[in-house]
Amino acid sequence: MTATRPTPDPTPNPAPDPSAAPEAVTVPSFAVVSGAQVQEALHGREREVVDLVEAVYRLHGAGDSVNPPSYFLRFPDRPSSRIIALPASIGGQVRVDGLKWISSFPENTAAGIPRASAVLILNDHDTGYPFACLESSVISATRTAASAALAADRLSDGRERPRRVGFVGTGLIARYIHTYLSATGWSFEETGVHDLSADSAAGFRGYLERTGAGGRITVHDSAEELVRSSDLLVFATVAARPHVHEPKWFAHNPLVLHVSLRDLAPEILLASANFVDDVEHCLKAETSPHLAERLTGGRDFLDGTLDDVLTGRATVPTDRPVVFSPFGLGVLDLAVGRFVHDEVARRGELRVVDDFFHELRRYG
């Protein structure tokens, strides 16, 4: 498949020559990209996006990125809600800085609107000026799903390929992960569904039936039923603390995409092989790996990062459950956002805000 722009080179950029003459720079225009444009730009491009995400993981692993800790804005009067800032910078051929500003208000679902909403700001590499604001809930879901599909593929190498998939949590993220698994060649004999909300479980089943998902679809009354009957597990919930505590449920050694990060008790992780996207990011904010670190006093339970697997520095065992816990890196949002921006620009559909930057003369 031919991409509209080159896949980022995972080799870090060389250091600039300090003796070189500075290049002329200009203030970029500023554009707003709607959610509809984002979705249109990404539709049918799943394999390209997975390749892009892999390249960014390699760039990050090679040190050609800046990805500081996420910043959490919490509210004493709304303890279940938060807004998170993810600043980041990525090199290679992407060469963009920026910030994702994403809110999570779980009570939204009771009103029939999505839990999460987000915007992504892209900043010009040379001037620092922001050049685009993109609706980013779709971008965020897309990079999460692409990361999960990549992990499912690479972490199943050397293992019997999963034939039964189970989804714990059936919201937007679960739907996107299923879409990306299907688009990258996965098919299943059985798809299991479990959600605390019967309506949500029924809605997800309806989505699966409409998309022509092959095999049997089973809605499970309990998480235990689903876990024991699945070779590939996707946790995509809004859980704030572990709710799955029994390691024996995982005795059949499934591959677990622990996308929501706080579902599994530390004891389950300690009985598994554990891979993360970034060690420092993942072991904080009361995630299950963070709790496992607190319980053991160390990080020996970690087997490596996904980049370690991609580059062959780590191998995936077959005699234990394998758990992938991705915190979610801002560099992935930037790369997918840049991909979207460039595609919308290629189509001639950028909505530029004229005169967005006004005071451009130093002395008036």
Distance from C-alpha of 273 to C-alpha of 268, rounded to nearest angstrom = 10
Domain 31-139+330-352: which topology? ornithine cyclodeaminase, domain 1 (3.30.1780)
CB 51, CB 7: distance < 8 Å:
yes
Q: Token match 């009067």: residue?
A: 77
Pairing of strands 190-194, 216-219: parallel
DSSP string, 225-282: HHHHT-SEEEE----SS--B--GGGGTT--EEEETTSSSB-HHHHHTSEEEES-HHHH
Length of the chain: 364
CB 333, CB 65: distance < 8 Å:
no
Q: Could you state, in chain order, the average pLDDT of each consecutive group of 10 residues for the chain (364 residues)?
A: 42 55 77 98 97 97 95 94 96 95 90 91 96 97 97 93 96 95 96 95 95 91 97 95 98 98 98 97 94 97 97 96 96 98 97 91 80
**Within this chain, domains 31-139+330-352 and 157-325 share the same CATH topology:** no
Domain 157-325: which topology? Rossmann fold (3.40.50)
Distance from C-alpha of 154 to C-alpha of 305, rounded to nearest angstrom = 12
Residue from 59, 26, 97 nearest 338 by CA: 97
Lookup: tokens for 150: 């990549």
Most distant CA atoms of the chain, gap in Å = 71
Lookup: tokens for 42: 């990404």
pLDDT of residue 5: 38
pLDDT of residue 23: 64
CB 99, CB 86: distance < 8 Å:
yes
CA torsion sign, 225 to 276 to 315 to 183? positive
Q: Sketch the domain layout of the chain as residue ranges.
A: 31-139+330-352, 157-325
Distance from C-alpha of 257 to C-alpha of 146, rounded to nearest angstrom = 12
Distance from C-alpha of 194 to C-alpha of 30, rounded to nearest angstrom = 43
Lookup: tokens for 291: 């709790």
